[in-house]
Amino acid sequence: MKFLRELAKKPWLTRGLAVGTDLGGVAHHRPSIAATGLWFYIGVATVMFSLIVAAYVLRLGNYGADPASVAAATSSRPWWTLAALCGIPPADDWQPMAEPALLWMNTGILIVSSIAWQMARSDVRHGRMDKLPFTLIAGGVLAFLFLAGQLMVWRQLVDGGQFAAASPAYAFFYLITAMHGLHLLGGLIFWGLTTTKVMQGAKAGDVKTDVNLCAIYWHYLLIIWIVMFVLLLIT
């Protein structure tokens, strides 16, 4: 009940309060403009990636097929594929793309990058400014390695003649990886700004918000990539 009473309080309606009066921590927990902007951006990006997933699934299936062809198409697929799990017969022009082994390595690199960002978050929270430059640099360098690995996958596919026009599966792969890579590049801009501040001797309080928001953004991009990677694997 105490929790409900706290929610029902309206300290901003209290008369006679001077500017800067402590309202029991209410003002201290007000989200910053940067945090609000980040969560708004994440919301928009989530909607965009959700639309890509929806378009992917709709383009994948031949939803007008008769039940007999559906059973024949799904029975020939491994049980863990989307076609077998959901009974979706693939479209006639849908050719499953190869699974470059490098994608697994890239996924591991992005996971380690996210771990480095979480370590940086812990460093700035506990004031370990001597370790913070190393964890920040590790997180950014690993992100660059991930992008380089994705470009290498593109190169492998192109060398094998697997262009976007070869199959809708390839077209969606290029779209998904390009959009995810662009979001990661945008995050690297703020990584560069934050790392520059730290290298110039900024105090923990000056960069705490920046590091926290960058870490949240990296974790978000990791989740998005894992979802997309699983979607590619099961189709």
Query: What pLDDT is recorded for position 124?
Result: 95
State how far the Cα of 69 lies from the Cα of 71, in Å rounded to an integer. Answer: 5
Query: What pLDDT is recorded for position 3?
Result: 44
Query: What pLDDT is recorded for position 57?
Result: 84
Give SS3 for 105.
Answer: helix
Q: Which residue has the tokens 């390839």?
A: 170
Q: Which of 80-84, 177-181, 193-197 has the lowest mean pLDDT?
A: 80-84
C-alpha R_g of the chain? 23
Q: Which of 161 and 218 is assigned the larger pLDDT?
A: 218
If one counts every other C-beta atom within 10 angstroms of the C-beta of residue 29, the result is 7
Residue 76 — very low, low, confident or very high, per pLDDT cuts 50/70/90?
Answer: low
State how far the Cα of 166 lies from the Cα of 174, in Å rounded to an integer. Answer: 12
Residues 6+ apart with CB under 8 A from 123: 129, 131, 132, 135
State how far the Cα of 208 lies from the Cα of 108, in Å rounded to an integer. Answer: 27
Query: What pLDDT is recorded for position 39?
Result: 93
Task: Please report, in angstroms and rounded to a whole number, the separation of the first and last CA atoms in the chain.
Answer: 49
**Domains with residue ranges and CATH for the chain:** 96-233 (1.20.120.80)
Give SS3 for 61.
Answer: strand
State how far the Cα of 232 lies from the Cα of 150, in Å rounded to an integer. Answer: 14
Asked if pLDDT for residue 8 goes beyond 80, the answer is: no
- Measured in whole angstroms, the distance separating CA 123 from the mean position of its chain's CA atoms is 22
State how far the Cα of 36 lies from the Cα of 53, in Å rounded to an integer. Answer: 26
Residue 214 sits at the vertex; the CA angle it makes with 210 and 220, to the nearest 5 degrees, is: 150
Rounded mean pLDDT of 6-35? 56
Residues 6+ apart with CB under 8 A from 66: none
State how far the Cα of 224 lies from the Cα of 235, in Å rounded to an integer. Answer: 17
Average pLDDT, the chain: 83
Asked if pLDDT for residue 27 goes beyond 50, the answer is: no
Asked if pLDDT for residue 6 goes beyond 90, the answer is: no
Residue 31 — very low, low, confident or very high, per pLDDT cuts 50/70/90?
Answer: low
Token output for 221 = 């991009």
Q: Nearest 5°: phi and psi at 167?
A: -165, 150
Q: Which of 23 and 108 is assigned the larger pLDDT?
A: 108
Give SS3 for 1.
Answer: coil
* pTM, to two decimals: 0.80
